[in-house]
Structures are given as C-alpha cells and as structure tokens.
C-alpha cells in the first residue's frame, strides 16, 4: 500500500473540524463533502450529494461489472467532544506523524477508517484488481441526524442495495482485533407528570418517587417482564478444588468476561419542572423526565413500552396525569456471522492477525444501523477499526502505525480479485 498517499489524505481529512456541537460544524461539513466529492469524481465514481436535516451526506458508487456483488462502506465524519481540551500536546487538527503512532482528532474514531477504505479501494481500481462494485455512504450526522437518516435509507434503498456492508462505529476489545455480534436497541422517551386535580400535588417530588420505583432494591429495572428471555453475562472461569474426596471446597476464579452479552440499562438523562406561572412559589404542577433504555438480545421495544404503561398504572397516584412521549424506539440487531462475506472476513482476520477475533456486543445504540440492516443490506460486518487504548474522545487521540498497516493488509486481501 502507498502509505505516503494515505497519510497525505488523512492529514487533509483531519484538518476539517467537524465537531458535532461546534458552531463551525456546518461550514466544516460542507468543506468536507465538497473535497470528498472531488476525490470520488476524479477516480471514476458516480457521486451525489444530499442534505439530511441540513447535514451534508455523500453517496459515491463505482460499478465496473454488474455481474459482481456490491459492497457498501458506511462511515461518518462528525466527531464527539465539542470542546478541545488543553491537554492536547499538539493542534488536534494538525496530524502528528510519529515513529510508532499518529495523533489527531478523529484518527481513532472514524476518520482513519474511511481513509484506509478509500485508499485501498482506489489502489485496487488503478491496478484493475477490485473484485466488487463499491458504494461509499459518507454521513455527517451519525450523532446529529438520527431518525431522518433512517428515512433517507428507506427512500434510497434501491440505489444503496448491497450484498454486504462494512461499518466501523465503535472500538474493539483492548488491543485485540474485534467483530461485533449484536447492537443494543434503544428507547428514548419523556415521562410527563401533571397535576390536574385540586390537591396541588408536588409533581417533582412525585417524579422522584416514581423514578426510584423504576429500580428494585438490587438495582434491577422494575418493568413487568423486562428480563424475560434476556441472556445473562457469563465469565469463563478457572475452577480449583481443594481437599479429599470426602471433604473439599471449590474455588471459582473469573478469568475473562464474555463481551458478546451486555446487561440492559435505564438512564435518567434530565428532569425539568414547570410552575403554573412565572416566578411562582407554589409547588410545580408539571414535571418532565427524559429517560433512555438500552435493550438487548431478545427484548423488543414495543413490549418494553407496554410494560412501562403497565408499571405506571400501578405506581402513579390517581390524581396525577401521566404521559409517555416516545422520541425513538428500535429493537436490538444481530449481526450474523454465518454468511459468506462475514466468514471471509473472519478467516482473513485470523490468518493475518494470528488469532480469532474477539466478539462483542455494541454498547452504544445507533438507530441507523438497524435501518441499514433491515432496509439496505442484511449482511452487516461491524468491524471496529479503533482500539480501546486509542484514547477515543479524549485528548491526544492516537493510533498505532502497525495497526494501520495490518488493517490495510486485511482490506486489500478482502476486496481484491
């Protein structure tokens, strides 16, 4: 691989300051898309720019043989961390090339994976060694667009239809090569309590009581049938027995967690209490709490929402009005490993890295991935490109040069004839 060309392109790509909550995001996003569009057009791609919730998005296609299968590569260029910490040793938007690692904002998160995919594909095109047709879906709104992106995928499903999809939206397990097997589902909702009677209930006090009743004494989530069919995380264990055959004791020592199973979670992300009129000294008569549920495995969003309604009927005082406002709700996704393309990837990874990839469940939920799997391509290869030691979303975000070379080798072997 021509690493000089790769680092030159990555250096320019890192210079675009596409921090998601920055006031400069829109301008930087437009510069990013315009630049990428020129690169794709120069190399023979059909390219179309779209706006989704005013966020620039790019679809670029290279079809050189209609009889070949098509691979979709999904990537995003918006980044977390609205403020740059003073702990950065260098300007985070000037790529630092070290002997063993590179440092810059986005190098570990999702800018370097896009660059390595693109550089590899362009090399194979020039050498006439590309075995697949390729579509790049470059999104500036993984954290900003939300539901609108799922609508975009539905509207353009024929244009984006693919045989398999590569995506990288998380980090691996430690420094190990990793593949994701599940993505958590999620429910983001508001719980509204209103006093509509004459008793002048303090709704913020009642909300506090209600939220406390969302959990049991051992911190389990108290929604009817919530844990039905939920797998429990397991740990591989080393078992030792001491004593004679007649009298002995067993000691079990946990050695390694099973990353393929995670617990569901319920987070309270905000509470707003509204008085009946401005500067009122009376108890607030309306309180709104925002909550987020992460659901796993065999749980379904609709069943959880039904359980929430049932729970509210049992614990809310009768003279208070309750309302659930669902902002988004979607089920967990399972990324099958038993298909030709994923097996091809696993075989190559094992051969090149000399180890079987770790398997993990995605901790964060991204609704777009469920829509991608159900609308565009059922075979999603969720391959984290970053390592958990690469300081994602922290100062001095870095990536090892050795890791870049190894992943470039893997992508070349996967996509070439």
Question: Where are the CATH 3.30.70.360 domain residues in the chain?
Answer: 185-229+261-330
- What pLDDT does 238 receive? 53
- How do residues 330-377 score in pLDDT, each as one tens digit? 888 888 899 999 999 999 999 998 988 988 888 777 777 888 888 999
CA nearest neighbour of 400 among 412, 386, 411: 386
CA-CA distance, 8 to 22, in Å (whole number)? 25
CATH fold of 185-229+261-330, please? Alpha-Beta Plaits (3.30.70)
Domain 3-184+332-415 CATH assignment equals 3.40.630.10: yes
Question: Where are the CATH 3.40.630.10 domain residues in the chain?
Answer: 3-184+332-415
- How do residues 364-407 score in pLDDT, each as one tens digit? 777 778 888 889 999 999 998 888 777 777 888 888 999 999 99
Q: How confident is the model at residue 161 (pLDDT cuts 50, 70, 90)?
A: very high
CA-CA distance, 217 to 200, in Å (whole number)? 30
- How do residues 41-51 score in pLDDT, each as one tens digit? 999 999 999 98
Tell me the Ramachandran region of residue 108: left when phi exceeds 0, alpha when psi lies from -120 to 50, beta otherwise. Answer: alpha
Range from 81-85, 146-150, 190-194, 357-361 that averages highest in pLDDT? 190-194
């Amino acid at each position: 691989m021509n690493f000089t060309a790769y680092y030159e392109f990555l250096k320019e790509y890192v210079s675009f300051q596409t921090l998601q909550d920055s006031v400069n995001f829109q301008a930087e996003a437009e510069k990013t898309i315009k630049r990428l569009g020129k690169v794709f057009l120069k190399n023979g791609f059909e390219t179309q720019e779209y706006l989704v919730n005013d966020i620039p998005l790019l679809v670029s296609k290279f079809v050189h043989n209609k009889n070949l299968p098509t691979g979709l590569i999904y990537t995003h260029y918006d980044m977390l961390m609205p403020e740059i910490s003073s702990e950065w040793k260098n300007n985070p938007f000037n790529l630092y090339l070290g002997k063993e690692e590179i440092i810059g904002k986005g190098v570990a998160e999702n800018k370097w994976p896009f660059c390595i995919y693109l550089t590899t594909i362009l090399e194979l095109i020039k050498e006439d060694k590309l075995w697949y047709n390729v579509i790049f879906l470059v999104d500036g709104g993984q954290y900003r667009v939300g539901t609108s992106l799922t609508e975009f995928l539905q509207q353009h499903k024929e244009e984006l239809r693919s045989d398999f999809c590569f995506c990288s939206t998380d980090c691996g397990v430690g420094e190990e090569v990793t593949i994701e097997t599940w993505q958590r589902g999620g429910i983001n909702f508001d719980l509204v309590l209103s006093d509509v009677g004459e008793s002048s209930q303090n709704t913020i006090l009642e909300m506090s009581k209600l939220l406390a009743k969302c959990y049991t004494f051992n911190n389990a989530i108290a929604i009817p049938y919530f844990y039905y069919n939920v797998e429990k995380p397991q740990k591989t264990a080393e078992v030792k027995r001491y004593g004679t055959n007649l009298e002995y004791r067993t000691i079990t020592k946990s050695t390694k967690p099973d990353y393929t199973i995670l617990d569901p979670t319920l987070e309270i992300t905000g509470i707003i209490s509204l008085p009946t009129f401005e500067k009122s000294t009376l108890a607030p008569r309306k309180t709104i709490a925002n909550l987020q549920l992460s659901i796993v495995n065999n749980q379904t969003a609709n069943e959880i929402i039904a359980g929430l309604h049932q729970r509210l009927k049992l614990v809310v005082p009768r003279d208070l009005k309750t309302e659930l406002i669902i902002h988004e709700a979607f089920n967990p996704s399972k990324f099958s490993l038993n298909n030709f393309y994923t097996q091809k990837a696993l075989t190559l990874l094992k051969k090149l890295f000399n180890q079987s990839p770790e398997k993990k469940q995605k901790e964060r939920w991204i609704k777009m991935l469920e829509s991608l799997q159900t609308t565009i391509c059922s075979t999603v290869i969720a391959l984290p490109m970053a390592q958990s030691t690469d300081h994602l979303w922290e100062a001095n975000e870095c990536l090892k040069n050795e890791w870049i070379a190894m992943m470039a080798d893997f992508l070349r072997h996967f996509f070439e004839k």
